[in-house]
Structure 1
Amino acid sequence: MARKQVPEILQRQIVARSRLLRIEAVDLKFSNGVERQFERMQSSGRGAVMIVPFIDDEQIMLVREYAAGLHNYQLGFPKGLIDPGETPEEAALRELKEEIGYGARELIPLKSVTMAPQFFSATMHIFIARDLYPEKLEGDEPEPLEQVPWQLHKAEALLAQEDFTEARSIAALLMTLRKLQK
């Protein structure tokens, strides 16, 4: 299949800004001559990480934390932004120590994913972490995260949990299960 030509950017302008977000209006011209304006959230360019930590061969660790967008507590995997100068692997190891109090001797990359790429330019790198050892770093969470161990053979029950809804956590779980089947 032939690659499509990306539209020409005619103009870019920041139309809204907050402490965390920047919204950019982008005027585009498509190869067929049609012009449109899109709005997109600008990312920091650093990306983020999510980790599926294995406590042992049968048990993974999740965290329950406050989700401001939904104004409730959500269950998911440890995750966070990549700090300036960090590699995704370094960020994954740091986030594990901050969120669940463990380091990992082995990180297995699963996949880098995007969320709503029509509107966001952010990438999340998903890893499996194995051979964990206790090591804690101070995190930036406003309250301690609840650690929730989960038996992997109960993955269907996890998918049915009312507070396990984040698409990236669901994708990470399903990719992990698929990788284990190989």
Structure 2
Amino acid sequence: MKKFEEKSFRSNSIFKGKVISLKVDDVILPNGKEAKREIINHPGAVAIIAITKEGKLVLVEQYRKALERSIIEIPAGKLEPGEKPEITARRELEEETGYGAHQLTYLQTFATSPGFADEIVHLFVAQDLYKIEEKADLDEDEFVELMEVTVEEAEQLVQEQKIYDAKTAFAVLWMKSCLTKK
């Protein structure tokens, strides 16, 4: 048994959508009592810390309906069924930024909201970037604006809450840490 494990004894599917599904599980807690857990299932995603030859971070600004505002983020996207994260990372980098990467390095995987969702994000660092001659098309419901910023400019965007999501804030901290070590 895993430490603090909660065993599901009933699961009720509530919704199945294009990106997520929602279920409610009845669980037995470690103390033997019962509780309900609302769980969002997600296929997983990738995110890319893309760094230009000039040492700038490549970002995209896009509207996020759940927040009712635009935010600035590192390129990212959902895994397709059976797709390896590296393939997704290369595709999303090309689609969202028009860049390819000669060097794509896996950094780490993390959970985005483990209190209620199983989504994990595979984080990559893309370096030795090059412009794609024939840029891949964005998804038909996706609208982004590309920007390239220094670490200091990215930190300012965090302070202004224009960078507002955890994966991008992590990317800024990672870059600051790596660039100051050189």
| Aligned-residue offset at 1:17 | 3.8
Output one character per residue of 1:45-95: Cα deviation in whole Å (capped at 9) or x when no partner.
xx1011111112421111111111122211111110112232111111110
Q: Percent identity?
A: 30
The 2-side partners of 1:101 and 1:24 are apart by 37
The 2-side partners of 1:85 and 1:75 are apart by 29
Structure 1 window deviating more from structure 2 (34-43 vs 167-176): it is: 167-176
- What SS is found at the alignment partner of 1:13? strand
| Aligned-residue offset at 1:120 | 0.2
- The size of the alignment, in residue pairs, is 179
Question: Hey, what does 2:168 align to over in structure 1?
Answer: 169
| Aligned-residue offset at 1:162 | 3.2
Matches within 5 A, 1:30-109: 30-44=29-43, 47-109=44-106
The 2-side partners of 1:13 and 1:128 are apart by 39
The 2-side partners of 1:27 and 1:133 are apart by 50
Q: Given that residues 110 and 175 in structure 1 are in contact (C-alpha distance below 8 angstroms), is that contact kept between their aligned partners in structure 2? A: no
Question: Hey, what does 2:6 align to over in structure 1?
Answer: 7
Output one character per residue of 1:113-172: Cα deviation in whole Å (capped at 9) or x when no partner.
112201000101111100011112112053542111101243431322332111221112
Which ranges in structure 2 are unaligned for 5 or more consecutive residues? Answer: none
Which ranges in structure 1 are unaligned for 5 or more consecutive residues? Answer: none
- CA distance 1:144–1:155, change in 2 (3 Å): closer
Normalised by the length of structure 1, the TM-score is 0.88
- What SS is found at the alignment partner of 1:32? coil
